[in-house]
Amino acid sequence: MDYELPTEFDIIIVGTGIVESIVSAAASRIGKTVLHIDSQDYYGGFWASFNLEQIDKLCERNQNANVDISADVQLNEGERLIQIGNNNFDLKNTSQKWSIPEKLELKDVSENVEGDNCDVTETEADNGTGTEEVWTQEKLMRESRKFNIDIAPKIQFARGDFVELLISSNIARYSEYRSVSRVLTWLNGELEVVPCSRSDVFSNPKVSVIEKRMLMKLLGACMDSEENEFKDYKIKTFHTYLNDKRLTDNVIHYVLYAIAMSTVDTPCSEGVENIKRFLNSLGRFGKTPFLYSMYGSGELSQAFCRLSAVFGGVYALNQNLGGFVFDAENKFKGLVCGKQQVIKASHLVMGIEKSPEEFVKSVEVSYISRGIFITNGSVKGSEKEHLTLLFYPLKGGRELCNVIELGTLTGTCPKGIYIVHMFTKQINTPKEDLEECVSKLFQSEKEDSDVKDARPQVLWSFYYSAPDTNTANLRKDVPENAFLCPGPDCDLDIDYSIKKAKEIFNSMYPDVEFLPRAPDPEEIIIGDGSDEQIPKK
C-alpha cells in the first residue's frame, strides 16, 4: 500500500523513545497534527525491547545508521539542509557472550535415537541429565520471539507519576502489568527477602519480635515525618540516623539499602522521602510498591504512540530521513523524507540520538553500566515464580546495583528461563562494575564439579555502557522551535522522563492541559461532519 505522507503538520517528532512518545500523545490529544516518524523499523529507540535474534544483531549493526543528506531537495533562499542523527550517544563497551553450545553434539545423543528428529534427541538428552533442561543456542533461538529483552528496563511505583498518568489519561488500557512479588537484599552472605509490608514483617521468621517492632515504628515515623524526629539530622546521613536509633544491624540493612533504596552516603531527608515513596505505593497492586510492564518496557512507548494515533497522529517507521531544513534565522522549517519530499512543521521534537551533531556537541554524558543475563533458574529458588527486585550494596554500601529478575510470567522469556537485568552508575567498565554482583548471584564460569552449586547458570550475557543524558542542559545549542528528548536515565522508574516530556510540551503549548483523560468508547457519539480528505490509494 503506497500512501504519500502529508506535507504539513503542526509538529514533527523524530524517534520513538518514551519522552518523544509522551509528547506525541499529548500533542495529538489536544488536536495538533502530529507526524511521528523513525528511521528504525521498530518502536522504542533506546527504550526498546528486542527478541533474541534482534538483540544478537544489536551489537553488530551500526546502531544509528545515519543517512546522508539528500542531494535533490529544493531549498529556499537562506535555507540549509543538515544531516539527521549523530553517534554521540551510541551504546559503548558492548560485549556479548554465549556460554552454552550452539547445538547438541552427536555424542550427547543416546544410541536409541532414530532418524533426524531433533525433539526426540533433546528429550533423550534431557532424561539423561535428570530434571535439568539442556539449553543450546539453537533451542533458545527457536523461541526467539518469546523473548522481550529491554535495553532500558524500568520498574514503576504503584503510585508514581507514571501510573497516575496512565490512569488519568486512560492510556492504561493499552498495556498490562505484573507486580514485583519480592524485594531481596544481600545480607550476611546470602540473599534474603526484605520484609516490606506489615504482613511480611509479621510472617518473616528471621526477624525477631523486637526487630519487628523497631522496623514498624521506624517506618511509621518516616511516614508521619514529624518535624522533631529528624531535625538534628538535616546535614547528616540517613545511615547515621539509623545507627543513632540503636536499631539492629539487620534492620538497618533492610531499611537503608532496600526500603529507602539508599547508600551510606544518602542524606537523611532523602532517605526519609524514599521511604515515604516506597510505603505510599505499597499494597496498591501487590505486596511490594513496584510494577513491571508485561512483555517488557518497550511496550510503554507503544502505548503512548497508540493514543497519539487514535487522536490522529500519523505513524511512519522505517523511513529514509534525508535531513532537516533550517532557515536563515536557524528556525526549523521541515523534514526531508525519502529523496525529495519536504514535510513542513512549526515544531520539531527529536530523540537526542536523532539530533544533528551541531546541536549536541556540548552535551555532557555520563554512563550507566548495564548487564543483561539469560539464566536457567532463579537467583533465589522458590515454589512459585517471582518477579524479583534486588538492591545490591556495592563497595561496602557506597553504590547500589539494581537487579531485576524476570520469569516467563512477565511475557519476556520462555518457560524455564529467567532474564536478569543489572545496572549501576558507571565507574570503570560494565563488566568490572557488575563483577561483584555477578559473582555472588550466578555460578562461576569455571566448572568445579566437586562443589554443588545451587545458583543459576548464565547462558548468555550482554554487557554495555548506556549513555545518560538527563543531567545535561538540552536547550543550549538548539534552535528555538526544536526540542531534544533525553534518553533513559539511571533511575528505576520513568517519572523523571515524564517530567521532561511535560517541560517540552509546555514550552511548545503553554497553558494547555497535558493529556486530559481520553473518553471511554461508550461515551463517544459517532461520526460528525469533518472535512478530512480520503487519502489517495
Q: Which is nearer to another protein, 40 or 66 (CB)?
A: 40
Task: Give how many residues touch another protein by CB under 8 A.
Answer: 73
Name which of 290, 226, 287 is nearest 261 in CA terms. 290
| Strand order across the beta sheet in which 399-406 lies | 92-98, 458-468, 366-375, 418-425, 399-406, 388-394, 182-187, 190-193
C-alpha span between 34 and 39 (Å, rounded): 16
Q: Does 530 bind another protein (CB under 8 A)?
A: yes
Q: Which is nearer to another protein, 35 or 261 (CB)?
A: 35
Q: Which is nearer to another protein, 115 or 529 (CB)?
A: 529
Q: Which is nearer to another protein, 452 or 537 (CB)?
A: 537
C-alpha span between 447 and 25 (Å, rounded): 52
Q: Which position among 255, 303, 389, 508 is part of the footprint of another protein (CB under 8 A)?
A: 303
Window 257 to 286, contacts with another protein (CB under 8 A): 283-286
Q: Is 75 exposed, middle or buried (0-12, 13-18, 19+ CB in 10 A)?
A: middle
* 302 grid coordinates: 507503544
Q: Which position among 7, 53, 129, 145 is part of the footprint of another protein (CB under 8 A)?
A: 145
Q: Which residue has the cell 529491554?
A: 150
Q: Which stretch binds another protein (CB under 8 A): 117-125, 269-277, 441-449, 527-535?
A: 527-535
Q: Does 141 bind another protein (CB under 8 A)?
A: no
User: Min. distance of Cβ 178 from another protein in angstroms?
Assistant: 6
User: Min. distance of Cβ 43 from another protein in angstroms?
Assistant: 4
> Is residue 304 within 8 Å of residue 23, measured between CB atoms?
no
Q: Does 531 bind another protein (CB under 8 A)?
A: yes
Q: Which position among 98, 295, 496, 509 is part of the footprint of another protein (CB under 8 A)?
A: 295
Q: Which position among 97, 142, 206, 213 is part of the footprint of another protein (CB under 8 A)?
A: 213
Q: Which position among 203, 330, 439, 506 is part of the footprint of another protein (CB under 8 A)?
A: 203
Q: Does 163 bind another protein (CB under 8 A)?
A: yes
C-alpha span between 475 and 478 (Å, rounded): 5
C-alpha span between 391 and 262 (Å, rounded): 9
CB burial of 429-452 (b: ≥16 within 10 Å; e: otherwise) equals bbeebbebbbeebbbeeeeeeeee
For residue 402, the Cα-to-chain-centroid distance in whole angstroms is 12
User: Min. distance of Cβ 173 from another protein in angstroms?
Assistant: 5
Q: Does 166 bind another protein (CB under 8 A)?
A: yes
User: Min. distance of Cβ 227 from another protein in angstroms?
Assistant: 19
Window 412 to 471, contacts with another protein (CB under 8 A): none
Name which of 155, 182, 205, 179 is nearest 390 in CA terms. 182
Angle at 348 between CA 347 and CA 351, to 5 degrees: 150
Q: Which is nearer to another protein, 128 or 312 (CB)?
A: 312
> Is residue 86 within 8 Å of residue 64, measured between CB atoms?
yes
Window 471 to 510, contacts with another protein (CB under 8 A): none
Q: Does 189 bind another protein (CB under 8 A)?
A: no
User: Min. distance of Cβ 28 from another protein in angstroms?
Assistant: 9
Window 8 to 47, contacts with another protein (CB under 8 A): 31, 33, 42-43
User: Min. distance of Cβ 241 from another protein in angstroms?
Assistant: 17
Q: Which is nearer to another protein, 125 or 350 (CB)?
A: 350
> Is residue 453 within 8 Å of residue 447, measured between CB atoms?
no
User: Which uninterrupted H or E stretch holds 137?
Assistant: helix 137-142
Q: Does 245 bind another protein (CB under 8 A)?
A: no
Q: Does 157 bind another protein (CB under 8 A)?
A: no
For residue 70, the Cα-to-chain-centroid distance in whole angstroms is 34
3-state secondary structure of 373: strand
Q: Does 305 bind another protein (CB under 8 A)?
A: yes
End-to-end CA distance of the chain: 7
User: Min. distance of Cβ 39 from another protein in angstroms?
Assistant: 12
Instruction: Give the long-range contacts of residues 230-235, CB within 8 A, separation 24 or more.
Output: 230/268, 230/269, 230/272, 233/268, 233/269, 234/268, 234/269, 235/267
Window 354 to 413, contacts with another protein (CB under 8 A): 409, 411
Question: DSSP letter at 259?
Answer: I
Window 53 to 82, contacts with another protein (CB under 8 A): none
Scanning 245-364, the segments in alpha helix (DSSP H) are 249-253, 268-281, 298-310, 357-360
Q: Which position among 88, 179, 341, 378 is part of the footprint of another protein (CB under 8 A)?
A: 179
Q: Does 209 bind another protein (CB under 8 A)?
A: yes
User: Min. distance of Cβ 36 from another protein in angstroms?
Assistant: 9
Q: Does 306 bind another protein (CB under 8 A)?
A: yes
Q: Does 175 bind another protein (CB under 8 A)?
A: yes
Q: Does 98 bind another protein (CB under 8 A)?
A: no
